[in-house]
Structure 1
Amino acid sequence: MAYCVDIYNFPGSIEYEYKWEGNYGAKGEKRAARERPSPWQIELQNQINKKNRIRRTIKANFVENDFWLTFTYRKGERKDMQGVKEDLNNVLRKLARRYRKFGAELKWMRVIEIGARGGIHIHMIMNRIRGADTDVLIKECWQHGRIFFSNLYEEGGFEQLAQYMAKVPDEEERKKKGLPRKLTKEEYSYSTSRNLIRPKPERKRYRRWTMRKLLLYGPKPTPGYYIVTESIRSGTNRYTGYSYMRYTEEKLDRRI
C-alpha cells in the first residue's frame, strides 16, 4: 500500500490529512526509526483527537455570530451535577419548542465546568435564529441566574474554542481550584444535541505518488481556494516512522 488522504469538506473550507496506510510506505519512502509511545503520549494523542473531533463538529454545524454562552447560578443557589443537568434539560426542551415556532432547529454543544469555589456553570455553543431576538428567548428560559453572551469567531477554524471544550483539568489545576479529588468523566466531558452533523472524511488512495514529491514541492490549492499557510503541518510520525502532511484550504471569497 502507499498513502491515503482524508478530505473533510466544510461550507467555507477543506481539510486534508495525508498519511501512510498499512505497514509499508510508498516506493522511495524509507521508514525512519520508531518510538514506543508512553502512556502520557497516548493520553496526549487522545486529547488531540478529541479536540479535532470537536473542532470539526463546530465547523460543520455552526457559523460566525452563533452564540458562545455561559449559564451561571445566582448566589445561594448551588446545585449538584444531577440538579444542573436537570435544569439544563428543561431549558433545552423549552428552547427547542420556541425554535420550532420560528421554523428553526435548535443545535447545541455544551461542557459543564466546576469553578474555583466549587460552583458549577455551563458553557454552550448554540445556533442563532436568523431574524429573531434569540438572546431574549434564551434569557426567558433560564431562571436560575445570569447568562453571558459572546459571538462565535471563526479565526483559526475554532481551534481555541475546541481546545477549551476538550480540556481535562490536570492535577495542578484541580489544586488551584481547591478540588479535593480527580474529576469524573461526567464532570469534564462535553455533550451535544443529537441532530448535529458528524463530519466523515472522503478517503482517496494513491499508489504512484510519493510523499517526497508532496513535501518537496508542497500542496497545490483547489481552484477557488487558497491554502492557509499557518495550517500546514508535515514531518515524520515518530511512532510509525512514516511521513505525513496536514493543511487547510479556505474559499478565496472569504479572504476579501
Structure 2
Amino acid sequence: MAYIEKTIIAGEHIFKEKSFSARYGKKNIPRGPNWNECSEVQRRRNELLKKKRIVWNICTNFKKSDWWVTLTYRRTERPDSMVMAKKQRSRFIRRLREKLKKKDIPLTYTAMTERGVKGGLHHHFIIKNVFDIGIIISLWEHGKVHIENIYTDSMYDLAMYFVKGDSEKSEKDFTSSRNMKKPKIRYRIIQAERWTSTPRAKKHYEIIHRFDGFHDFSGFPYQEYVMVRRC
C-alpha cells in the first residue's frame, strides 16, 4: 500500500498534497461519493488545476511591496463583452511593455479580467514593483486606476482572492507574462497505508491552510495543506 505526496515549493510557501492512486494499490481504502467521469467532471478538474497553478505562480513570483492594481471603466466606456475587455487589456499591456522596454525594465505580471456581481467588467493585476507606477496611471484611458502596495504577509491569501474574484461563479479570464518563474514540483511515493492525520510544519514555517477529506474526482482520501515561512 502506498500514497503519493506532491510538494510544490513556491517562494515563501510550500504546498503539500497527499492522495492515493490506482497505480499503487487502493483496494481496501474507503471511498467517498462516486463521481462518474464525464466532460463536465473533466472540465471542473481542469479548471481547479488551472487555478492552483495560478496560485502557485503568484506565490513564486510576487511578494509584499509589489503592486495590486485594479483598472475600472467609466460608465460610458464599459465594454459590452469579455472579448472587448480582453482586447483593451491586451492593448494596455502592450503599451506598458513598450514603455518599459525603452528603459530596459522587465514587466512581470499576472492579470484577471472579471465581470463582477453587478455586471461591470474590470481588471485586476499583480505587478512586480520595479518601475514608476505613474506609467500605469498615464496609460489607462478608460476609467479609474486603483493602486496599492501588497501588504499581506502571505501571498497565498491574495492569490486565493485573485482566482476567486467577486464570486466563484463570475465570468473570468486570466493571463500572465511569459517571464514568470515556475514553482518547483516534486513527487514521492510513500509506502504506507495512511498519512499523519495532523501534519507538522517544517522548521521556520507555519501551516496556514489545511483540508482533509475525499478527493472530489477520485473519491479517495485526500489531504492538502499550505505552509508559509515566518522567519
Identify the TM-score tier after normalising by the shorter chain.
0.7 to 0.9
What's the CA shift for 1:23?
5.2
Aligned to 1:190: 174
- Under a length normalisation based on structure 1, what TM-score does the superposition of the two structures give? 0.71
One-letter amino acid of the counterpart of residue 211, structure 1: R
- Residues 169-218 of structure 1, C-alpha deviations (whole Å, 9 max, x = no match): 3xxxxxxxxxxxxxxxxx522222222234352111122x3315x22xx3
| Correspondences of 1:168-247 after superposition (within 5 Å) | 168-169=169-170, 188-199=172-183, 201-207=185-191, 209-212=192-195, 214-215=196-197, 218-223=198-203, 225-228=204-207, 230-237=208-215, 240=218, 242-247=220-225
- Residues 97-122 of structure 1, C-alpha deviations (whole Å, 9 max, x = no match): 33334543212222223356654322
One-letter amino acid of the counterpart of residue 225, structure 2: Y
Aligned to 1:137: 135
Aligned to 1:125: 126
Aligned to 1:150: 148
- Under a length normalisation based on structure 2, what TM-score does the superposition of the two structures give? 0.78
What's the CA shift for 1:139?
0.8
CA contact (8 A) 2:114 2:165 kept: no
In structure 1, what is the Cα distance between the partners aligned to 2:163 and 2:10? 16
Runs of 4+, deviation exceeding 6 Å: none
Alignment of 1:70 onto 2:70: yes
In structure 1, what is the Cα distance between the partners aligned to 2:85 and 2:49? 28
Larger % of strand: which? 2
- Percent identical residues: 24
Aligned to 1:175: none
In structure 2, what is the Cα distance between the partners aligned to 1:203 and 1:53? 16
Q: Which has the larger radius of gyration?
A: 1
One-letter amino acid of the counterpart of residue 146, structure 2: F
CA contact (8 A) 1:6 1:202 kept: yes
One-letter amino acid of the counterpart of residue 188, structure 2: K
Aligned to 2:229: 251
CA contact (8 A) 1:12 1:251 kept: yes
What's the CA shift for 1:164?
1.6
What's the CA shift for 1:83?
4.2
CA contact (8 A) 1:60 1:199 kept: yes
Q: Give the 3 Å change call, closer, same or farther, for CA 204–91 of structure 1 in structure 2.
A: same
- Residues 120-152 of structure 1, C-alpha deviations (whole Å, 9 max, x = no match): 3222222221xx432x11111122222112333
In structure 2, what is the Cα distance between the partners aligned to 1:252 and 1:113? 33
Q: SS at the partner of 1:90?
A: helix
Q: Give the 3 Å change call, closer, same or farther, for CA 61–165 of structure 1 in structure 2.
A: farther
